Amino acid sequence: MPPLDFWSYEGKYRKRAVICDDLELTAANKERLKNLAIMWRYASTHKGLTIYFAHQSFFDIPPLLKKLSDVYILWRPRARNELN
């Protein structure tokens, strides 16, 4: 995850999309989680970012990302414990 100044854009406002696919969050260091939270809280609204986040387990996603997300798309999981 890049820091906040990476998303700065000089000039005219520009809309961008960021795709985060299957990030390792359980063993992530604090700096990576902090940058992810800043991207979700601030950069998505003030820097013109649309964020798509794909992850294999809904339960491993940090609660902050779940709270700040607008749309969830869930497929039927193969594991019975996740289905319950």
Phi, psi dihedral angles at 75 (to 5 degrees):
-105, 155
For residue 10, name the pLDDT band (cuts at 50, 70, 90): low
Is the distance from CB of 19 to CB of 39 less than 8 angstroms? no
Q: Please, where are the H alpha helices in the chain?
A: 30-38, 44-46, 63-68, 80-83
Q: Of 10-14, 17-21, 30-34, 43-47, which range is least confident?
A: 10-14
Average pLDDT of the residues of the chain: 82
The angle formed by the CA atoms of residues 56, 60 and 62, to the nearest 5 degrees, is: 125
The whole-number pLDDT of residue 15 equals 79
Average pLDDT over residues 9-21: 77
Give per-residue pLDDT as tens, 47-58: 778 889 888 888
